[in-house]
Amino acid sequence: MPFLHADFRHIMSNTPPLFILLTLLAGSRANSKTIVFIIILLAGLLLWLFGRGNAIHIGASGLVFGLAGFLIASGILEKRPLPLLISLIIGLIFGASLFAGILPTQKTVSWDGHLFGLIAGVITAWGLLNFRSKN
Residue ranges per structural domain of the chain: 8-134
pLDDT of residue 18: 93
For residue 132, with 0-12 CB atoms within 10 Å meaning exposed, 13-18 middle and 19 or more buried, which class applies?
Answer: exposed
Q: What is the mean pLDDT of the chain?
A: 88
Is residue 60 helix, strand or coil? coil
Cα-Cα-Cα-Cα dihedral of 8, 72, 103, 1, to 10°?
A: 40
Taking the C-alpha atoms of residue 15 and residue 6, their distance in angstroms, rounded to an integer, is: 14
Give mean pLDDT, residues 36-54.
Answer: 92
pLDDT of residue 105: 86
DSSP tag of 27: T
Q: Helix count (H) and strand count (E) of the chain? A: 5, 0
Give mean pLDDT, residues 18-47.
Answer: 92
Predicted model pTM: 0.90
pLDDT of residue 13: 85
Q: Which of 1, 120, 101 is nearest to 56 (CA)?
A: 1
